């Protein structure tokens, strides 16, 4: 017999029917032995069975299997082909599970076209303004301008504080109206209060009942109707409210102008007006965000998934074409509302994102997190080689950062003070008043502080201490001279330069 005629008993291609098993090929780690027994449908362990006995049982079971050799999983060719074909089907099913598309309505198509038209116009105006500023920029004037602003910001002091009559629980959210004359406050007792900025007295209130659980979200329509408010509660309902146009001295009770009873299956964390004022976005603990038409709120235009945990916050780009969302999965996402795609992911926080706000410049985004940091992102840095986009990380507080707000200058706010004065060039000539829009931001935290930050070098300018417990929310008036905050101590505090 020649050497090449000697049969090789452990070669599956020559002897498929011979069962030859080398014990060395059986796993030795007990976890792997248990996993293999489980895969075979055998008991993982017997009473009093040790690791060695368990492995011996696996060796015996495997040796009794047909068509098994030392390669430990040999299957005949026809069975192998069926397995491969089956795995392709499984892969196709997995791909279908990962990527799916929901047909959109004609109303959604028209909405996206409207977003496209609006955002192109606004971005063109913003870019043209920034080009003109850059062409005429005088660095001496800019430096003097920034120093003046920071000097004025350092003068912020407590102007007034109010414990709202009738409120029994934490005030979770505060927002200035478009002209900054009114302050809306949401309470965990299900109520909403509208205060006058002048004396912090209640002008209007929304009694319990319309929200059966905590009010955790509210926003004013800054763009279309400055009397319209949207609120969201833990019960999953959204209410729209219209503040009366009266001068009554006594608090006036309001009723909702429209209600979406079952907007979400779980708690609503944020409600946000789109810059057009025609649409509202709601973020929720059901891990989705939804887009609603203010005039036809019966059915959501969009129900968008994308976060692996609760969606806690969101913010519209000032041009209206993008929406940013942040979740308790510590991930931020940028969505293009004109096509419905997720175009970028913000990865950098190590704990959940609780608040975010776009700068008026259109390219900076601030995110506040449970990791005690406020991160600044620059969307101009997103490209194929750099998918991060993080510009700066501010170690802003010692506890969870609950809210962050850029200064958004609003023309309909009657200024009661000035952030800046006229500045001159290096020869003290050519006096000019520069724009203050977006020059600073404020953050609120569970450490009881409201901090003010410069938006050019991200340095802290002032810390406002007055709350006796966690600060839940803050906002900046349209002239930049007031900051309002609310907290766990059930108080509303107004700060002024």
Average pLDDT over the chain, rounded to whole?
Answer: 87
Q: Where are the alpha helices (DSSP H) in 64-205?
A: 77-98, 106-135, 139-153
Short-list 472, 452, 330, CA closest to 396: 452
pLDDT band at 73 (very low <50, low <70, confident <90, very high): very low
Residue 18 lies in a domain: no
| Residue whose structure tokens are 């409210």 | 241
Name the residue range of residue 354's domain. 106-422+432-496
Residue 42 lies in a domain: no
pLDDT at position 15, please? 44
d(CA 333, CA 336): 10
Mean predicted confidence (pLDDT) in 136-144:
91
pLDDT at position 81, please? 44
pTM of the model: 0.79
HSE-up of 385 (CA within 13 Å, CB side)? 0
pLDDT at position 413, please? 64
Residue 10 lies in a domain: no
pLDDT band at 55 (very low <50, low <70, confident <90, very high): confident
pLDDT at position 71, please? 42
Residue 89 lies in a domain: no
Residue 473 lies in a domain: yes
Residue 123 lies in a domain: yes
d(CA 476, CA 440): 10
pLDDT at position 47, please? 74
Mean predicted confidence (pLDDT) in 423-442:
91
CATH of the domain at 354: 2.130.10.10
Short-list 99, 211, 247, 226, CA closest to 175: 226
Residue 333 lies in a domain: yes
The counts of H helices and E strands in the chain are 5, 29
Residue 98 lies in a domain: no
Has residue 199 got a pLDDT over 80?
Answer: yes
d(CA 370, CA 310): 14
The total number of structural domains that make up the chain: 1
């Amino acid at each position: 017999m020649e050497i090449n005629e000697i049969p090789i008993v452990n070669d599956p291609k020559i002897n498929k029917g011979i069962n030859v098993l080398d014990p060395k090929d059986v796993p030795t780690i007990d976890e792997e032995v248990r996993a293999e027994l489980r895969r075979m449908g055998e008991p993982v362990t017997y009473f009093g069975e040790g690791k060695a006995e368990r492995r011996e049982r696996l060796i015996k079971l495997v040796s009794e299997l047909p068509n098994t050799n030392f390669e430990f999983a040999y299957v005949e060719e026809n069975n192998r082909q069926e397995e491969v074909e089956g795995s392709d089907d499984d892969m196709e099913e997995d791909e279908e599970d990962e990527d799916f598309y929901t047909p959109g309505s004609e109303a959604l198509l028209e909405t996206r076209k409207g977003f496209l038209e609006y955002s192109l116009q606004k971005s063109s105006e913003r870019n043209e303004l920034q080009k003109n500023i850059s062409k005429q920029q005088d660095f001496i004037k800019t430096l003097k301008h920034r120093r003046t602003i920071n000097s004025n910001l350092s003068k912020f002091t407590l102007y007034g504080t109010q414990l709202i009559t009738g409120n029994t629980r934490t005030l979770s959210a505060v927002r200035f109206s478009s002209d900054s004359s009114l302050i809306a406050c949401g309470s965990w007792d299900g109520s909403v209060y509208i205060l006058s900025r002048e004396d912090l007295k209640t002008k209007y209130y929304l009694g319990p009942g319309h929200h059966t659980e905590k009010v955790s979200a509210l926003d004013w329509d800054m763009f279309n109707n400055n009397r319209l408010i949207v609120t969201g509660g833990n019960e999953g309902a959204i209410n729209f409210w219209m503040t009366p146009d009266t001068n009554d001295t006594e608090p006036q009770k309001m009723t909702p102008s429209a209600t979406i009873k079952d907007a979400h299956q779980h708690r609503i964390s944020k409600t946000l007006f789109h810059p057009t004022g025609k649409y509202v976005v709601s973020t929720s603990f059901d891990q989705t965000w939804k887009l609603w038409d203010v005039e036809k709120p019966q059915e959501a235009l969009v129900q968008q998934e994308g976060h692996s945990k609760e969606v806690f916050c969101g913010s519209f780009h000032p041009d209206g074409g993008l929406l940013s969302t942040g979740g308790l999965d510590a991930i931020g996402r940028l969505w293009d509302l004109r096509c419905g795609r997720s175009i970028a992911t913000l990865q950098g926080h190590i704990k959940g994102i609780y608040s975010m706000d776009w700068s008026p410049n259109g390219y900076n985004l601030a995110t506040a997190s449970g990791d005690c940091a406020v991160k600044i992102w620059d969307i101009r840095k997103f490209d194929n080689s750099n998918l991060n986009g993080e510009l700066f990380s501010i170690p802003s507080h010692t506890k969870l950062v609950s809210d962050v707000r850029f200064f958004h200058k609003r023309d309909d706010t009657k200024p009661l003070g000035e952030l800046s004065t006229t500045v001159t060039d290096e020869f003290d000539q050519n006096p000019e008043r520069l724009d203050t829009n977006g020059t600073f931001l404020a953050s609120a935290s569970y450490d009881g502080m409201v901090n003010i930050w410069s938006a050019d070098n991200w340095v802290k300018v002032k810390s406002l201490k007055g709350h006796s417990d966690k600060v839940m929310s803050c906002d900046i008036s349209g002239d930049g001279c007031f900051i309002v905050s609310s907290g766990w101590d059930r108080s509303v505090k107004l700060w002024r330069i």
